[in-house]
Amino acid sequence: MKKGPARRNTRKAISSPFAAPGKAECERCKHETRFMYTLLSTQQETSIEGILVVDGNQKIISFNRRFAEIWGIPDEVLKSRSDERALSHVISKLKDPEGFMALVQRLYAHRDEKSLDEIELKDDRTLERYSAGMTGPDGEYFGRVWYFRDITRRKRAEWNIRKLNDELMDAVARLKAANRDLEAFAYSVSHDLRTPLRHMLTFMKYLEEEAGAGLGAEARKHLNVVTASAKKMDLLIRSLLAFSKVSRAVPEIIDFSGRELVEEAVNDVREDVPAGRGITWHVGDIPVLRGDRKMLRQVLLNLLENAVKYSRGKEPAVIEVFSRKEGRETVIGVRDNGVGFDMKLKEGLFGVFRRLHSEDEFEGTGIGLANVKSVVLKHGGRVWAESAPGRETIFYFSLPSPETVDAEIRNGGHV
């Protein structure tokens, strides 16, 4: 019988899932193992925290260099891998060893429990301690990890901040008390001074009526000077009383139409303008404001009266009230085309008795702008001005916008 040609076996070998891994696979596994070991050891040795790993029998498995540095543990203790010896060395450095040990014993008894606390050392250092159990996916317990971080600098900084805050609060309390005493003193002095001044003015009036035409020109001149000076002092005292009253007042906060308030103030000031004087008034779009309406009306009156006074001599004088939104604030501006002032003199502009022009040029007591500042600060706002000699002047004040305040309330104090 004739044999045919031999058939070639084209079937592929079937690999068994239980077959031993090949050489390439083994090399890859070894490489991954070396990588993971290098990664973990690098992380541990470069950590800013001292790390101690203890097994289920409370024997040291590993620790990093930072742990030995923090606690100053001798090499022979670390080489012994004895948790008891290491713990004994640690306890010798603690201010409260009983509390430290109580937590350690509780954590060893409750393997799943985590803990974060602060411990104080006898050398005045403070460490933050964190501990967590090592449990596998199937619940097998392998031991516990302890982390220690030196937070001494942070604690000292916190202590310094608290000390500075306490000192600041004391200073603020003393300043408030001094201001209250000063306001009470100013009110008392101002009130008590008005009585003798009224007497002076009354008797000088009697003197003028009694003497009549019998007074010589020089005597009448002296009498007029004394009377004018007494009236000026009375005006200053009344201004001081008003300033003291504003300083002690507590704002009654409501929401109201800003435009209506401005128009009301403009109409009041316009009534006192001498007949025949040309003033062009502009009132912009003023939004709803939140504050004490009566106090803020006085702010506008003071600023508008200044604008009328310092624009005297301009034909026509132009006075404008406008507003704009700046971040979390509503800014109100009062602009005039008057004499202006040098911005080098802006320091103390809103102080008591601060004047930028002589009394011969413009009348006044120098308290109006101090009142403006006092009221605006009570509302949590700011005051400032822009000007130049012979050019327009703008006085600004700002108030927290109602929308911003409401948003902060809704978001727990954050916009």
Is residue 34 predicted with pLDDT exceeding 70? yes
Q: How many other CB atoms sit within 10 Å of the CB of residue 88?
A: 12
> Which residue segments constitute the domains of the chain, with CATH numbers given?
26-150 (3.30.450.20), 171-248 (1.10.287), 254-410 (3.30.565.10)
- Give pLDDT, residue 363: 60
d(CA 308, CA 316): 11
- Give pLDDT, residue 148: 94
The CA-to-CA distance between both ends of the chain, in Å, stands at 102
- Give pLDDT, residue 383: 92
Average pLDDT, the chain: 81
d(CA 135, CA 141): 5
Helix (H) / strand (E) element for 318: namely strand 317-326
Beta carbons within 8 Å of 133's beta carbon, 6+ residues apart: 107, 111, 112, 113, 114, 141, 143, 144, 145
**Predicted TM-score (pTM) of this structure:** 0.50
Biggest alpha carbon distance in the chain?
175
Condensed to tens digits (0 to 9), the pLDDT of residues 340-379 reads 787 777 776 776 666 665 555 556 566 778 889 989 999 9
Q: What are the two backbone dihedrals, phi and then psi, of residue 226, each rounded to the nearest 5 degrees?
A: -65, -45
Condensed to tens digits (0 to 9), the pLDDT of residues 114-125 reads 999 999 999 999
Residue with the bigger pLDDT between 82 and 387: it is 387
- Please give the full DSSP string across 336-348, using - where no structure is assigned: E-S----GGG-TT
- Give pLDDT, residue 15: 47
Is residue 244 predicted with pLDDT exceeding 90? no
Residue with the bigger pLDDT between 167 and 310: it is 167
